[in-house]
Amino acid sequence: MLRSDPEGRLEDRLNARPHLITLADPLQLQSGAVLPDVQIACQSYGHLNEAQDNAVLVLHGLTSDQHAAGASSGPARKPGWWNAAIGPGKAIDTDRYFVIVPNVLGGAGGTTSPAAQNPSTGRPYGLSFPVITLADMAKMHAALLDALGIEQLHATIGGCLGGFQVLEMLAACPARTGKSVIISATARTSAHNTALWAVLRAALMSDPNWRGGDYYNGPGPSAGLGLLAMTGALFWMSRETLERRFGIAPVSGVPRYTMEPDFAVEQFLNSVKENASKGRLDANSLIYLTRAIDYFDLARDAGSLQLALKGVQNPVLLVSYASDWRYPVEEMAEIAKALPENVPHQHLTLESTMGHGAFLYEFESLRPALSEFLR
Amino acid sequence: MLRSDPEGRLEDRLNARPHLITLADPLQLQSGAVLPDVQIACQSYGHLNEAQDNAVLVLHGLTSDQHAAGASSGPARKPGWWNAAIGPGKAIDTDRYFVIVPNVLGGAGGTTSPAAQNPSTGRPYGLSFPVITLADMAKMHAALLDALGIEQLHATIGGCLGGFQVLEMLAACPARTGKSVIISATARTSAHNTALWAVLRAALMSDPNWRGGDYYNGPGPSAGLGLLAMTGALFWMSRETLERRFGIAPVSGVPRYTMEPDFAVEQFLNSVKENASKGRLDANSLIYLTRAIDYFDLARDAGSLQLALKGVQNPVLLVSYASDWRYPVEEMAEIAKALPENVPHQHLTLESTMGHGAFLYEFESLRPALSEFLR
């Protein structure tokens, strides 16, 4: 079932391979809608061993994609978002494990999303794409494993949106996930999150180039993406981080009393805006992924968190960052508490000034525990 | 010099009077620019006594105006923003004090602002309005007192942007301010604030109807104002407040898996957006007032906070709310520490779930201390 992209080539010593997998069966969604012709864009690193028991599934966060490691793959020629973690001899050791990173359902990396062609119209879905959920994403990952012929994973790892998906897999197919690593996550969204996503979606939709989601033949809502990224930056970074990094002194030392950028934090936000406007983010993808998070509540779907996690068998590593105020340590502790009693688990709380993004930008503190846990 | 607006009438038993004061001299701004023909829109409550020593100056926050008390004054027919505090027998007792509330320089209530006519073009200033600072606002208040013939105030009171202005008056004309009350404020802005204002200004400017600030003959950037208000709401309310108030359950009990509002917090933000789009906020005014805050740093202007406050003579009441993470208790404590040793002062920290807006929405806890302090 695994068909290599003909363009696929050995990118570097990581042996990164892009794959485009087409699911044989339509995907039945939690909403009741059915998604036909689901394609999954993946990247893999390392080699599947003969026993087929060394596969590690890595699930990416909201603004990432399947290009998790490697210097320059894909049209964007960007470094992998988790180069620090994935590679030969690294914590997720590609000499040892076969690492698979699928682009999430609804994602902007080539997996079926609002940018895909709606078979009933022959045009991109746009807002006619059905609302998807975290459970749908987990279901897609299970179908991907079927397609790859992998019965059981050695481990399943995810941070943020990826962590939510690991939890949904623990609820839906706990025997397949192997060891699981859940980073900077929670078992349910928050009203604050829902509010934030509403604001970010409103920023996108305020761009006239968004055109009700039907921007595929036009310039696209780059200004809306810029505004979204600026606003997001205010939440990813804590007040303390901003103070320490930028301060309040005018850049030239003396105030110029101007509407032009006169402070370092303004220049930073302008570059965030600029990069997002030109980057690989996709407006409709962000709209659907954030909407999926709005509906994320593992306890609601199963009756209780205990019931949702009752099938978990393998060891679980939970990782919180003390400064991650949007996904607080206490909510992760509730997951630990809800695991079946006999499941070995560890809840690690790390210090970092980077808050929610710490697992990406300050991987070093997580390395020893992750490396040890995966062996 | 005090000219009553001919439309002025006794609105209610508060005896609220609107005034429009024109300053005789141009206002020399901190930037070096000069603002001619400055008009100040005020409202007053109560009566100035013969000794002229019972005047209390109340300075409003970012999104308020001179209509601080009274049920229905002005074209917006909205209740006063500090009705809880100002009135006969209330903490700021209009049977006892002559309460003056000027609309801030650059404000949307009729004081000279970007909406005023630029005498050199005969058209509204828009972005040709000079950048103003907190020190400029304090200078305008001093000129207002001159125009009213009031040598010394009984008290000067302000929260948030109003609190910054009280501090600037303590630096510029400490002998005139009388007792001073500084609520939910700081002696300098923060990088987080500057970032937030940059994002909110970008939201306004993203509206095509903003038209580079020249929207006075068009429909105006109502969508941008809506987006600004939605984003702002995420900062005025803490994560905990949002959780407690809205939760994460879908409004109908079961998820509808829709892009339409399905959660209480979405409905709330939509109403915030709707109200702001139709309300009395003015885009250019917010742009200039937030820009003024970007330049606010009492220590920078004077050399140090101690030097800025060295002339303070009269008692000072500082009020913090423990949940106000944007203007933390520690920053207010620095003001207390910087006051001259012989100045009687009190730093009150109150509990509230309302954070920064607590002095407006939960006035009760502040009432006894404020009432006592003013006597």
**Chain B within 8 Å of A263 (Cβ-Cβ)?**
yes
Return the pLDDT at B7: 37
Q: Which of B65, B207, B301, B324 is catalytic?
A: B324
Find residues 50-109 of chain B whose CB sits inside 8 Å of chain A: none
Strand order in the sheet with B155-159: B17-22, B39-45, B98-102, B55-59, B155-159, B179-183, B316-321, B345-350
- Is the predicted pLDDT of residue B2 greater than 50, yes or no? no
Which residues of chain B make contact with A258, given a CB cutoff of 8 A? 131
pLDDT at B74: 54
Q: Please, what is the end-to-end C-alpha distance for chain B in angstroms?
A: 29
Judge whether B113 and B282 are in contact, CB under 8 Å.
yes
Residue A95 a catalytic site member: no
Q: How far apart are alpha carbons B83 and B67 in whole angstroms?
A: 9
From start to end of A54-200, where are the E strands?
Answer: 55-59, 86-87, 92-93, 98-102, 117-118, 123-124, 155-159, 179-183
**Hey, are the CB atoms on A194 and B266 less than 8 Å from each other?**
yes
Question: Of the spans A1-5, B9-13, B167-171, B321-325, which averages the highest pLDDT?
Answer: B167-171
B101 vs B239, higher pLDDT = B101
pLDDT at B8 over 80: no
Whether B93 has a pLDDT exceeding 90, the answer reads yes
Tokens coding B90: 């209330």
Instruction: Give the pLDDT score at A1.
Output: 34
Q: What is the mean pLDDT of residues B16-20?
A: 87
List chain A residues with CB under 8 Å of B131: 257-259
- Sorting pLDDT into bands at 50, 70 and 90, what band is B244? very high
Question: Among A93, A207, A301, A324, which one carries the catalytic annotation?
Answer: A324
- Per residue in B321-351, pLDDT (tens digit) is 998 889 999 999 999 999 999 999 999 999 9
Nearest CA-CA distance, residue B307 and chain A, Å: 18
CA-CA distance, A124 to A122, in Å (whole number)? Answer: 7
Given a cut of 80, is residue B129 above it in pLDDT?
yes
Helix and strand tally (H, E) in chain A? 12, 14
CB contact (8 A) between residue B265 and residue A198: yes
According to CATH, what is the number of the domain B193-289? Answer: 1.10.1740.110
- Cβ B337 vs Cβ B331: under 8 Å: no
Query: What's the confidence (pLDDT) of residue B11?
Result: 35
Taking the C-alpha atoms of residue A133 and residue A30, their distance in angstroms, rounded to an integer, is 7
Q: Report the interhelical angle of A161-172 vs A283-294 (nearest 10°).
A: 50
The answer to whether B234 faces chain A, any CB pair under 8 Å, is yes
Distance CA A2, CA A4 (A): 6
User: pLDDT value at position B240?
Assistant: 87
For B118, phi then psi, to 5°, come to -80, 110
Q: Which residues of A touch B305 (CB under 8 A)?
A: none
- Tell me, yes or no, if A239 comes closer than 8 A to chain B by beta carbon: yes
Shortest distance, CA A262 to any CA of chain B (angstroms)? 9
pLDDT at A11: 35
B272 touches chain A (CB under 8 A): no
- Give the pLDDT confidence score for residue A2 in this predicted structure: 39
Q: Which fold has domain B17-189+297-374?
A: Rossmann fold (3.40.50)
Half-sphere exposure of B224 (CA within 13 A, CB side): 27
- pLDDT tens digits in sequence order for chain A, 375 residues long: 333 333 333 334 467 788 999 999 999 999 999 999 999 999 999 999 999 999 999 999 999 999 999 866 555 567 899 999 999 999 999 999 999 999 999 999 999 999 999 999 999 999 999 999 999 999 999 999 999 999 999 999 999 999 999 999 999 999 999 999 999 999 999 999 999 999 999 999 999 999 999 999 999 999 999 999 999 998 888 888 899 999 999 999 999 999 999 999 999 999 999 999 887 899 999 999 999 999 999 999 899 999 999 999 999 999 999 988 899 999 999 999 999 999 999 999 999 877 788 888 889 999 999 999 999
- Measured CA to CA, the distance from residue B248 to residue B262 in angstroms comes to 10
Task: Please state the domain extents for chain A.
Answer: 17-189+297-374, 193-289
Supply angle C-alpha A110, A114, A120, rounded to 5.
Answer: 110
Q: What is the DSSP letter of B232?
A: H
CA atoms within 13 A on the CB side of A246: 26
Alpha-carbon span B302 to A227, nearest angstrom: 36
pLDDT of amino acid B159 = 96
- What does the longest C-alpha to C-alpha distance in chain A come to? 68
* Rounded Cα gap, residues A13 and A174, in angstroms: 33
Model confidence band, residue B76 (pLDDT cutoffs 50, 70, 90) = low
d(CA A22, CA A38): 6
Contacts of B230 in chain A (CB under 8 A): 198-199, 202
pLDDT band per the 50, 70, 90 thresholds, residue B86: very high
Helix (H) or strand (E) holding B155: strand B155-159
**Using CB atoms and an 8 Å cut-off, which of residues 278-337 of chain B contact chain A?**
287, 291, 294-295, 297, 300, 325-326
Residue A227 at interface with chain B, using a CB cutoff of 8 Å: yes
Q: What is the mean pLDDT of chain B?
A: 92
Predicted local distance difference test score (pLDDT) of residue B257? 98
B227 touching A (Cβ < 8 Å): yes
Residue pair B232/B200 in contact (Cβ under 8 Å)? The answer is yes
Rounded to the nearest angstrom, the gap between the alpha carbon of residue A69 and the centroid of all alpha carbons in its chain is: 14
